Amino acid sequence: MVVVTGASSGIGRATALAFAEAGASLVVAARREAALRECAAQCEERGARAVAVATDTRDEAAMDRLGEIAVERFGGLDVWVNNAAVHLFARFDEAPPDLWREVMEVNFFGYVHGARAAIPRFRRQGGGTLINVASVNSAVGAPYASAYVASKFALRGFAESLREELRGEGIDVCTVMPASIDTPLFQHAANLTGRAAKPLRPIIRPERVAAAIVRCAKRPRRELIVGASGRQLVLTHALVPSVFERLMAWNVEREHFRHEPLEPTPGNVYEPMPEWTGVTGGWKEGDASPKGSGPARTAGAVGTAAFSLTKTAAMVITTAAPAALALAARGFRPAPRRRPGVGAPERLLRRSLRS
């Protein structure tokens, strides 16, 4: 029996469908009741039993009620997937404090409420698996996303603490960290930058993340990065953090926004949006280049979850990682930080790694 939050679209919806295909019974939760009922109906079409419960993860009592419903309807609780999340694109000093805090309320405290609902029930029945859908931004930062990154870093540390506390109790805590995923997160995001946001390439389909979550439920892993680009990011950040930070800043400015103005919007942070209720955000079917036409509206009620690299920057990091590893083995220390120029990342990388 599986509980999935944030199941009205994106990774959450894909995950619910994947568990339904695997034969699990489900309680699906999100704020958008109509989209949630559609998700439950799709699960039932796949032969699963599913219950839709409109829920705001910021409400601790409502989250506890999800656990009650799971036990009452299905006799137990095997897996709890914390997934609901929101995003804010803004410079830190330009983000309203209440909007910034709401991102933390959903992305971190919503998961805390999920853990408080799941763990006592797991303990009473002798075990269970808590899966937190985080992001590669649980391990690496990015500009214009301080609230999102802070929430994801906090989530990773929270999960590690839980694993240490729950050792020997039969309760597994898994952190799934996707790279750049084709979901409606960008369409739903709060945005104060004046530029329409888009996913960084390469972009991964949400079904790959859903499959990884199902695998974690069957064979729990403490942490799992989904996407080769995400693993490259984490490795490079660990080996040459100063180089990584400059590359990421360069790449986000160049690639993470469309050449299209956007009026300031709170997105779905305070209240849910009726649009874009599908699994994907339409970016792989559409045009995700900065000058492109944007997502395909035909992708269903169709952004991405986390940050990755463009193909160009990904190639740079892939090439840099072995060299950085060799330098690290020789005790290499990066050169003192200098203000980067406007040049290509390859030139910036060579300057930073010059011995």
Q: Which residues are catalytic?
A: 148
SS3 content of the chain, % helix, strand, coil (to 5): 50, 15, 35
Residue at token pair 């169709």: 302
Q: Answer for the pair 66, 55: CB distance below 8 angstroms, yes or no.
A: yes
How buried is 302 (Cβ within 10 angstroms: 0-12 exposed, 13-18 middle, 19+ buried)?
A: buried
CB atoms within 10 A of CB 157: 11
- In the numeric block, which tokens belong to residue 14? 């894909």
The contacts of residue 219 (CB under 8 Å, 6+ apart) are none
The contacts of residue 330 (CB under 8 Å, 6+ apart) are none
- In the numeric block, which tokens belong to residue 290? 């900065």
H or E segment to which residue 82 belongs: strand 79-82
Q: Answer for the pair 300, 276: CB distance below 8 angstroms, yes or no.
A: no
Long-range contacts of 51-54 (CB under 8 A, 24+ apart): 51/26, 51/27, 52/28, 53/27, 53/28, 53/29, 54/29, 54/30
Cis peptide before 120 (omega within 30 of 0): no
**Rounded Cα–Cα distance for residues 122 and 100 (Å):** 33
Angle value at C-alpha 80, between 78 and 84, nearest 5 degrees: 165
- In the numeric block, which tokens belong to residue 4? 């999935």
